[in-house]
Structure 1
Amino acid sequence: MHDDHPQQPRRSSIVRIILVRLTLALVLGLAVVSGLVWGGFLDIPNRFNPFTPLRIADDVNWLTRWKLSRLERREEQCLAVLDGAPLSHTAVPDRDSGDGCGLSNAVEVSRSSVGFNRSFTATCPLTVAWALFERHALLPAAREHLGQEVVRVTHFGTYACRNINHRAGGRRSEHATANAIDIAGFVLADGQQVTVKGDWSGGDGRREAFLRALRDGACRFFDVVLSPDYNEAHHDHFHFDMGSYRACR
């Protein structure tokens, strides 16, 4: 009687060898393509080129989020991206309060393609994420669900030296470094106002759809997006931040 079991390890070894070779071939191929792109021998559109800076106007794809994340460690490049955005801003000097609060790589924003109820100070990466959100989520959603433009955004602010949920103890909020913004509502071209508090649920279906499209769209750009679905503390605003955690609620 022959024992067929010893054949199984041989087949597994062959499969492993094939997979290793395929992986090496893929890595080598990517390295060659990357070298051609980096050296300028292969011309591909900016939005598909991992070596070119992020541009707000480019269509969003799988590289957008990666390019955005790189700006957290590249201050000059981040400011250059903002210079190419329809957004009025001025650089703000760094400030370290020594208690987990302060400003670093921040700008003051007065307006963009929409107005604001007041200017705000935010980190450069958060401001770039806002510019992306505004162009690729906010404005298209208003046209699709409400049939008109958003002309003004109402926010509750960005910088506040405090802990999460205003607790006496615990971690500092992303607001403590101006790395978060709370959005309360929107003013439309005809003067109507849409608010998170009044229109998230139980109201006009178009407004509800608009606000939910904003929440979902924001998750493409911000690291943390919290809505009234998260908890009672967010019943009247969206929280967007560029912190070290990921959440879309």
Structure 2
Amino acid sequence: MMTSPSTGRRKGHYTRPSRLGHVATAVIFVASLLVGEVPADAQTKQKATPPAWEATSAAEPAAAAPPTQPASDAAKAAQKSEDGVKPADPATTAAEPAPKAPPTWSAAEIADAKARCAVVLQRIHAVALPHEPIKEGACGTPAPIELISIGQNPQVALSPPAIVTCDLAESLVNWFEGDVQPLARKHLKSEIITIQTMSSYSCRNAYGRKKTKLSEHGLANALDIGGFITATTKTADVLQDWGKPQRQILAEAAAEQRAAEEAAAKAAGTAVATNPAQAALPSALPSTAGAAVTSLARSTIIDGAGDGEIVAKPTLATSDPVVANKLGGPLLKPGKKGSLAHKTSKIGVNSTSNPDPELKAFLHEAHQAACRIFGTTLGPEANDDHRNHFHIDMAQRKFTKICN
């Protein structure tokens, strides 16, 4: 069938635009898809990487932040109220100086002392072990030794061993070899083989009191001896065998004199009360016997002693149960057991006025001989602190040695 030209144009007119419309629609659709994806991707990148101006602006506050200022008192108080922790005080948190090292002997002092000690030990009969230098404040010595025994044929053991200086060890050897052993052979018919030591080095003041000067024990320069044991097992014990100290005898005589005077005064007062005529009679002159005895009873260790060095104490009766705690030597705690504690506790019952004459003579003569050698020699005649031992030391005296 033939189509008219007009119809063909009409058909061609409507057919062509229809195809173009479909193409345009497809293009628009594709373009819209492309346009929709690009912004989404750009937004994601924008979020991941902020623009340079934003990065710069964010970094500027940290770089330009001013230095932190110290918190005010109000801020500290607020901080304390918030967290309950007291703010640090700058005055106390400042760097504190390092603690001072404890005082020590110099290497030169130690070397010199050890060299001198070696020379001393070579010329005496003694068995000793070197001891570490001791320095405790004002106490100590650069080259102490632990003295095990002294003498030769027989060796005399120190029980327990003593921490002393070599100078003290030398004087101890000289005392024993020159005096103690000959006296032991004379009075005890045997030789001493053991020294019962009570105290050697001890960092303390004299008598262990606060207001006295440093004891020679604090310099390892003193030794307390409680007794001596012979090869025949005979013991010369200072507490039991010294006998009643002369100072105690004189004190008891003075006490008896005062009691007699008081009794006489009381009797005279009673007589006057019953016979008023006697009141006109002149009173009896006071007796000076008591005063004389009292002056003799005063401890003589004050004479020649320095201030605060040795202090005499009132005499304590040996029956006083507290005497054991006032004796010299190492401090004993209540309830402590052992030979030393037992020994000191016996003062009230076993101290006798009539010990074996030979034991008594040996102790008295050994003590007197020590006075010629040591700077200080104290024993039962000195005071009650030394009632149970001899104290010997090497203290240097300007004028005379102390012997009591």
Indicate the SS of the match to 1:89: strand
Amino acid at match of 2:365: A
| Partner Cα separation in structure 2 for residue 214 and residue 89 of structure 1 | 24
8 Å contact 1:78–1:128 — kept in the other structure?
no
Distance 2:374 2:114 in 1: 18
- Is the helix fraction higher in 1 or 2? 2
Q: Is the 8 A contact 2:156 2:195 kept in 1?
A: yes
Three-state SS of the structure 2 residue aligned to 1:165 is: helix
Specify the SS of the correspondent of 2:212: coil
**Paired residues of 1:133 and 1:218 also in contact (CA < 8 A):** yes
Partners of 1:104 and 1:123 within 8 A in 2: no
Higher percent of residues as strand = 1
User: Is 1:141 the equivalent of 2:293?
Assistant: no
Post-superposition Cα deviations, 1:101-120, rounded to whole Å, max 9, x if no partner, equal: 12233211111221121111
Aligned-residue offset at 1:127: 0.8
Amino acid at match of 1:176: G
- 8 Å Cα contact 2:200/2:224 also seen in 1: yes
- For residues 206 and 151 of structure 1, the distance between their equivalents in structure 2, rounded to whole angstroms, comes to 18
Shift of 1:170: 2.1
Who is 2:142 aligned against? 104
Secondary structure at the aligned position of 2:186 is classed as helix
Partner of 1:79 in structure 2?
Answer: 118
SS across alignment from 2:125: coil
Instruction: Please say if residues 228 and 234 of structure 1, whose CA atoms lie closer than 8 Å, have aligned partners that are also in contact.
Output: yes
Matched, 1:247 2:402: yes
Q: Is the 8 A contact 2:134 2:144 kept in 1?
A: no
Q: Partners of 2:388 and 2:193 in 1: how far apart?
A: 20
Does residue 163 of the first structure (1) align with residue 205 of the second (2)?
Answer: yes
Secondary structure at 2:368's aligned position in 1?
helix
1:12 aligned partner: none
Q: Runs of at least 4 residues of structure 1 off by over 6 A?
A: none
CA distance in structure 2 between the partners assigned to 1:230 and 1:91 by the alignment:
33
Aligned counterpart in structure 2 of residue 217 of structure 1, from 365, 369, 375: 369
Which segments of 5 or more consecutive residues in structure 2 lack a partner in the other structure?
Answer: 1-111, 244-352
1:177-192 pair list within 5 angstroms: 177-192=219-234
Once the two structures are TM-superposed, the CA of residue 81 in structure 1 deviates from its matched residue by 2.6
Q: For 1:226-237, what aligned pairs fall within 5 Å after superposition?
A: 226-237=378-389
- Give me the TM-score of the superposition, normalised by structure 2: 0.42
CA-to-aligned-CA distance 1:220-240 (integer Å, 9 cap, x gap): 211100010111110000000
Question: What residue in structure 1 maps to residue 194 of structure 2?
Answer: 152
**Conserved? CA contact 1:225–1:238, under 8 Å:** yes
Alignment TM-score, normalising by the size of structure 1: 0.67
Residue in structure 2 matched with residue 92 of structure 1 by the alignment: 131
Rg comparison, structure with higher value: 2
- Aligned-CA RMSD value: 1.6
How many residues align? The count is 176
Asked whether the 8 Å contact 1:148–1:188 carries over to 2, the reply is yes
**Alpha-carbon shift at residue 243 of structure 1 (Å):** 1.0
Q: Gapped runs of 5+ residues in structure 1?
A: 1-72
1:238 aligned partner:
390
Percent identity over the alignment?
31
